[in-house]
């Protein structure tokens, strides 16, 4: 089920420099705690999940961290003047592949554990899942178009400050133009939520029928695109291309101080990832 997505998010945070060695080494505790926000686990279920997470972490440390380090080195080796949209899109796809690798590795474990949930646990999970979907909808997807674009601008600016240290007036103007070209997908994500919830409901009702349950679980874990409404994928691709274009523009006018800050952040992140291998 989609409960494993938090694990993926944690790994993503580590990859973008927001994690710590403590968090990584205690990932099992954090994941179990988060999952129990959705469903109360028995002692045996919790122990089994922790064991499986320990195995996943060992695999991740040995096989995935070196890939992240290699990608960081590739980014550091690209000259600012050679930065182009194709390179940025390629880095985005490579990062997505890292995430897919984790999900593919852990999917059989999540499937096995989901089959152990009792009907009462299934109901609890479904109720909490829907409530959290609704919270997300009210916080983000209910925003009108103008507010959504403002939120998008603020998020871009925060991320750029994270990597460049500051954002110039000229770069803020690029961000503003970027937000105007961004395709608002709020309505599509709302439909995606509904599609996901509908399949989860079917799963809870038909879990004993593996011909129905297994394809649903595999879609939830490995093929989220199956729940995309019409046009969402094309809109996301359009937004990716738009992002790449404007990131190149921002890099092109970045100051030497900003670029040095970016390089230092990449080096620091590389050091963090190398320490996680110890």
> Which segments of the chain does DSSP mark as H helices, in order?
5-15, 21-25, 27-35, 43-59, 65-76, 85-114, 119-136, 145-164, 169-181, 186-205, 210-222, 232-252, 256-276
Q: Which of 99, 273, 76, 240 is nearest to 163 (CA)?
A: 76
What is the extent of the structural domain holding 52? 2-276
Q: Do 239 and 179 form a contact (C-beta atoms < 8 A)? A: no
pLDDT confidence of residue 20? 62
Among 17-21, 137-141, 213-217, 263-267, the least confident range: 17-21
Of residues 157 and 204, more confidence is placed in 157
Decide: residue 104, CB within 10 A, 0-12 exposed, 13-18 middle, 19+ buried.
Answer: exposed
* 1 secondary structure, DSSP code: -
For 112-125, the pLDDT digits (tens) are 888 889 999 999 99
Q: Is the pLDDT of residue 74 over 90?
A: yes
Per-residue model confidence (pLDDT) at position 6: 39
Residue appearing with tokens 């999900």: 103
pLDDT, residue 8, reads 42
Report the distance separating Cα 262 and Cα 274, nearest Å.
18
pLDDT attached to residue 138: 82
What would the mean pLDDT of 118-143 be, rounded to a whole number?
Answer: 89
Is it the case that residue 16 has pLDDT exceeding 50?
A: no
Number of structural domains the chain divides into:
1
Cα–Cα distance, 179 to 158 (Å, whole number)? 14
Tokens of 16: 């973008």
Q: What is the CA radius of gyration of the chain?
A: 20
Among 17-31, 43-57, 64-78, 138-152, name the one with the lowest average pLDDT.
Answer: 17-31
Segment 197-208 shows an average pLDDT of 90
- For range 11-37, the mean pLDDT: 68
Q: Which residue has the higher pLDDT, 33 or 236?
A: 236
* Contacts of 19 by beta carbon, 8 Å cutoff, 6+ apart: 10, 13, 272
| Percent of the chain at pLDDT exceeding 90 | 63
Distance CA 171, CA 175 (A): 6
Tell me how long the chain is. 278
Residue 25's closest CA among 67, 64, 60, 68? 60
Any residues with CB less than 8 A from the CB of 6 and at least 6 apart, and which?
31, 34, 35
Cα dihedral 217, 220, 225, 230 sign: positive
Confidence class for position 142, pLDDT limits 50, 70, 90? confident
Compute CA 9 distance to the chain's CA centroid, rounded to the nearest angstrom. Answer: 5
Q: What is the pTM of this model?
A: 0.85
Residue 171 has pLDDT above 90, yes or no: yes
């Amino acid at each position: 089920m989609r409960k494993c997505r938090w694990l993926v998010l944690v790994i993503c945070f580590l990859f973008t420099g927001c994690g710590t060695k403590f968090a990584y080494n205690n990932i099992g505790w954090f994941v179990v705690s988060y999952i129990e926000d959705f469903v109360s686990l028995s002692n045996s279920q919790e122990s089994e999940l922790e064991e499986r997470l320990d195995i996943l972490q060992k695999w991740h440390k040995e096989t995935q961290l070196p890939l992240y380090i290699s990608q960081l080195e590739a980014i550091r080796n690209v000259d600012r003047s050679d930065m182009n949209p194709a390179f940025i899109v390629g880095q985005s796809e490579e990062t997505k592949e890292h995430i897919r690798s984790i999900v593919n590795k852990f999917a059989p474990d999540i499937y096995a554990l989901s089959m152990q949930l009792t009907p009462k646990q299934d109901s609890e999970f479904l109720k909490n899942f829907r409530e959290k979907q609704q919270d997300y909808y009210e916080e983000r997807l209910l925003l009108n178009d103008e507010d959504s674009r403002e939120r998008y601008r603020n998020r871009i600016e925060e991320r750029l400050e994270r990597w460049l240290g500051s954002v110039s007036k000229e770069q803020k103007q690029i961000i503003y133009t970027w937000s105007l070209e961004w395709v608002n997908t709020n309505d599509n994500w709302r439909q995606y939520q509904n599609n996901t919830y509908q399949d989860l409901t079917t799963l809870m009702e038909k879990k004993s029928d593996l011909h129905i349950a297994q394809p649903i679980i595999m879609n939830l874990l490995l093929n989220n695109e199956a729940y995309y409404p019409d046009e969402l994928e094309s809109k996301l691709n359009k937004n990716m291309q738009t992002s790449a274009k404007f990131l190149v523009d921002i890099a092109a006018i970045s100051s030497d101080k900003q670029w040095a800050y970016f390089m230092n952040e990449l080096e620091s992140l590389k050091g963090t990832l190398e320490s996680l291998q110890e």
